[in-house]
A and B are shown apart, each in its own frame.
Chain A
Amino acid sequence: MSALLELTGLTKAYPGVVANDDVSMTIQHGEVHALLGENGAGKSTLVKMIYGLVKPDAGTMRLLGEGFTPAEPRAARAAGVAMVFQHFSLFEALDVAENIALGMENPPKMRDLAARIREVSQAYGLPLDPSRLVGDLSAGERQRVEIIRCLLQNPKLLIMDEPTSVLTPQEVAILFKTLEKLRSEGTSILYISHKLEEIRRLCDAATILRLGKNVGTCNPREETARAMAEMMVGEVLHVPERKPHATAEVALELRGLSLAAPSAFGTALKDVTFSVEKGEVLGIGGVAGNGQDELTGALSGELPAQAGQIFFEGHDIGPLGPNARRALGVLAAPEERLGHAAAPDMSLTENAVLTGTVRKGLSRKGFLNWRAAKDFTNEVITRFDVRTPGAHTAARALSGGNLQKFVIGREIMQDPAALVVNQPTWGVDASAAAAIRQALLDLAANGAAIIVISQDLDELMEISDRFAALNAGRLTAPVPAAGLTVDQIGLMMGGAHDLEAAHG
């Protein structure tokens, strides 16, 4: 029997960048095949060509031994290729069955469709009620809608783009069971991810892309995660070193912090209580949208709290704004790089002034010292290896990883006594992520209290001394991170969905 899908010499160039350069790979029947690579390595372009969204400049594709040149996604679907995107395309005001019907060429009667949805969802262990409104579903449940929409087409190849980025560990386990069942039935899966442990658990083969080229195929079960990461990055990875150094001296403390949701789509914080010691890293996990942004804002001073709820070294800093907190040494780096942590159209120097004025003495009597600001910017660029033409470059011209190094470096170079970072390595390539984590650990080693809010559990386990989880605006009691099992973490995060359904 020939392979399911054979790609030979696929090339696709965009102005100024070759997204895929002579990529060849083979997907066998009934195989879960991982597609690995850093951001910008060309994974998306490759799957878009398979799914008919992009036409290759050169190269051929063969599906089941026959030439395969889908002109549009519809043709790809007709040939048996289905795809679950990272970002869902669902209508919140419609129910599950209606959403699925919208994506079909010839939808059957609603009652028959609902019955089929139930049938498929039970067969594959993805509980889903066809009559529920999508707006009421959790991210994990929404993903099931997309998966079932694909499964109804009986695909031969299912493409999944970073499917676990929105899931709790328990939901990941359910998804993996489903994928394993599909595999046993002979469906092939092309699985895009950069979570290496996950790939080692699930996948039969892995193709690794770097700068648009296929740099190797391996069996992930036989490789270490580190070996694969080094293939992805093309250099020897530096694993952060960490030793516990909490000093039992409390730096930052929250006492029953409650905060109304800042907008209709925000999450209210409810009775959040914890303390972080000097030299300690507190990791805060949780599924996105459970109060991470609000907690970051409350700690940075953007969302001032009432008196008596936030203390830093004994000072009540709840009502203080961002600059007053900076003066005391409480610094923050929000999640959204462009537009929040940095102004996109402003130069790096101006973005250094954005948070550095108070602590770096960049202004005197309100007048800015641009020379000092530029020196400070260049220090950050040098020490954190920010790849940019210079301090005058607009923030939006930097790649995500480089801007993130700048944003985190800008705060670290101000010598914070407490630093709050939200998603410090989101969308950042592996080597930059390792550098950022190491910088955070070094800062803690020098006695700073650090709070890392992240959805990347591997990251939190790697650098945290203690771990807590946010769900629906509540924070679990922090527990020591060493020795936590995935099940325990999942339980801490997992209560979220029940609460979310109840209040949403």
Chain B
Amino acid sequence: MIALEKRPEPSRAWSFATPMLAVLLTMIAGGLMFAALGKNPVEAIRTIFWDPLFGEFAFYYRGQLLIKAGPLILIAIGLSIGFRAGIWNIGAEGQYIVGAICGAAVGLAFYPLESFIVFPLMVVFGALGGFLWAMIPGILRVKFNTNEILVSLLLVYVAEFLLASMALGTLRNPDGAGFPGSRNFRSYPAGFNEEIIAGTGMHWGVVAAFIAVIFTYVLFARHQMGFQIKLAGQAPRAARFGGVNPARLVLFCLGLSGALAGLAGLFEVSGPAGQISIDFNVGYGFTAIIVAFLGRLHPVGILLAGLLLALTYIGGEAAQSALGLPAAAIQAFQGMLLFFLLAVDVLTNYRVRLGKREAV
């Protein structure tokens, strides 16, 4: 009989080891799935994890890695702050869209003005858009005690319709011969989020992600706000006793995660994506939830998890084209990662005991 015994305190060693174990288990289970699909599992795993970094076309994939990891990390960092406090913003995808729309709209309004002020203004309004979109579930929760999980999630679908309306109407490129989609920022240098070092994928959004990682690390390690966030998540009554104002905390966490998601959207629309289009959002806001948990809600963990997930994205696409794996198999593979992570998490707080169970 296998029994779980609660540890007197969470194991530090296991809290580092469980993500590795989860990745390993995902490789095994994913390999079995690929084998069942009739593909060579070793080759599939190599195509996903190895080739993008060290394979023949790595020069192309390496740049893609930062482009994909940047928004994931930026959004996940914001989400992790709320998650630690027990505030569940599931609607980062919507905040990402609205941030992109607001920032892009400001940039396009200045077209064709060539001024250094355009891009910073776009950044500010991108963050503001995401912030305000996240304030909707925030204020509803504080005033009416609604569930922020549902409200933020449903607002994603509202944001998607807003995006379609913008791409087809308000922000449509007047010189675009009627095609849906806004003017492309590649043809508007003052508003373009260019690679800082060509070919590396390093754009301002990636810089912002790194800054967010450092900022959050300091927040949790040294700042009282970070302490209060952890406290509120672990022991809400103790937090109130410790002087934490729960309403203010809800607004802070939702607002910050919304602003970061909005920033990610702005950097994406003004850089890699280039324009507002109907299919602008590709699910970064949802994948970031996985990234946040895979990184154990720790900023450095999220940095690594974001890079890992980006790798599975890029590797997954490569596997689709090179091996003909169905897209659903890649998504299932990513799902396995979260599943195993949550499953092995139990080892942090519990010890496995083999042997006869005590009759109690």
A-to-B contact residues, CB < 8 Å: 14-15, 53-55, 300-302, 321-323, 326, 332, 334, 336, 339-346, 350, 353-355, 357-358, 363, 366-368, 370, 393-394, 396-397
| B241 adjacent to A355 (CB under 8 Å) | yes
Q: Flag B216-231 by CB within 8 Å of A: 1 or 0 each.
A: 0000001111010011
B9 at the interface (CB under 8 A from A): yes
Return the chain B residue nearest A350 by Cβ. Answer: B227
Q: How many Å from the CB of A271 to the closest CB on chain B?
A: 25
| A341 adjacent to B9 (CB under 8 Å) | no
| A345 adjacent to B10 (CB under 8 Å) | yes
Which residues 53-111 in B have Cβ within 8 Å of A in the complex? none
Q: What are 15 A-B contacts defined by CB distance under 8 Å?
A: A54-B359, A302-B241, A332-B241, A339-B238, A340-B241, A343-B239, A345-B9, A345-B10, A346-B230, A354-B231, A363-B224, A367-B223, A368-B223, A394-B8, A394-B10
The contact of A394 among B9, B237, B241, B242, by CB within 8 Å, is B9
| A353 adjacent to B9 (CB under 8 Å) | no
Return the chain B residue nearest A351 by Cβ. Answer: B238
Which residues 187-246 in B have Cβ within 8 Å of A in the complex? 222-225, 227, 230-231, 234-235, 237-243, 245
Return the chain B residue nearest A339 by Cβ. Answer: B235
Residues of B within 8 A of A363 (CB): 224
B-to-A contact residues, CB < 8 Å: 5, 8-10, 222-225, 227, 230-231, 234-235, 237-243, 245, 358-360
Given contacts A368-B223, A393-B9, contact A334 B230 (CB under 8 A): no
| A368 adjacent to B243 (CB under 8 Å) | no
Q: How many Å from the CB of A455 to the closest CB on chain B?
A: 20
Interface centre among B9, B234, B235, B241 (most CB of A within 10 A): B241
Q: How many Å from the CB of A322 to the closest CB on chain B?
A: 4
Q: How far is the CA of A366 from the CA of B242 in the complex (A)?
A: 15
Q: How far is the CA of A355 from the CA of B240 in the complex (A)?
A: 11
Q: How many Å from the CB of B348 to the closest CB on chain A?
A: 11
| A340 adjacent to B237 (CB under 8 Å) | yes
Q: How far is the CA of A342 from the CA of B234 in the complex (A)?
A: 10
Return the chain A residue nearest B225 by Cβ. Answer: A366
| A343 adjacent to B238 (CB under 8 Å) | yes
The contact of A357 among B224, B358, B359, by CB within 8 Å, is B224
Given contacts A343-B235, A350-B227, contact A326 B243 (CB under 8 A): yes
Residues of A within 8 A of B242 (CB): 322-323, 354-355
| A366 adjacent to B224 (CB under 8 Å) | yes
Interface contacts beyond A343-B239, A345-B235: sample of 9 additional A-B pairs, CB < 8 Å, sorted by A: A15-B5, A326-B243, A339-B238, A340-B237, A344-B234, A354-B241, A358-B243, A367-B223, A394-B8
Residues of B within 8 A of A342 (CB): 235, 238
Q: How far is the CA of A322 from the CA of B238 in the complex (A)?
A: 11
Q: How many Å from the CB of B156 to the closest CB on chain A?
A: 32
Given contacts A302-B241, A334-B241, A394-B8, contact A344 B235 (CB under 8 A): yes
Given contacts A344-B234, A354-B231, contact A54 B241 (CB under 8 A): no
| A368 adjacent to B231 (CB under 8 Å) | no
Q: How far is the CA of A397 from the CA of B235 in the complex (A)?
A: 16
Return the chain A residue nearest B359 by Cβ. Answer: A55
Q: How far is the CA of A350 from the CA of B220 in the complex (A)?
A: 12
Q: How far is the CA of A207 from the CA of B132 in the complex (A)?
A: 68
| A14 adjacent to B238 (CB under 8 Å) | no
Q: What 10 A-B pairs come out closest when comparing CB atoms?
A: A323-B243, A343-B235, A394-B9, A397-B8, A322-B243, A354-B242, A340-B237, A343-B238, A366-B224, A302-B240
Residues of A within 8 A of B223 (CB): 366-368
Q: How far is the CA of A15 from the CA of B239 in the complex (A)?
A: 34
The contact of B237 among A15, A339, A366, by CB within 8 Å, is A339
| B237 adjacent to A336 (CB under 8 Å) | yes
The contact of A300 among B5, B224, B230, B241, by CB within 8 Å, is B241
Return the chain A residue nearest B222 by Cβ. Answer: A367
Return the chain B residue nearest A346 by Cβ. Answer: B234
Given contacts A54-B360, A346-B231, contact A354 B238 (CB under 8 A): yes
Q: How many Å from the CB of B52 to the closest CB on chain A?
A: 38
Residues of B within 8 A of A393 (CB): 9
Interface centre among B8, B10, B245 (most CB of A within 10 A): B8
Residues of A within 8 A of B222 (CB): 367-368, 370
Q: How far is the CA of A370 from the CA of B242 in the complex (A)?
A: 17
| B245 adjacent to A321 (CB under 8 Å) | yes
Return the chain A residue nearest B10 by Cβ. Answer: A345
Residues of B within 8 A of A332 (CB): 241
Residues of A within 8 A of B8 (CB): 394, 396-397
Residues of A within 8 A of B231 (CB): 343, 346, 350, 354
| A15 adjacent to B238 (CB under 8 Å) | no
Q: How far is the CA of A346 from the CA of B241 in the complex (A)?
A: 15
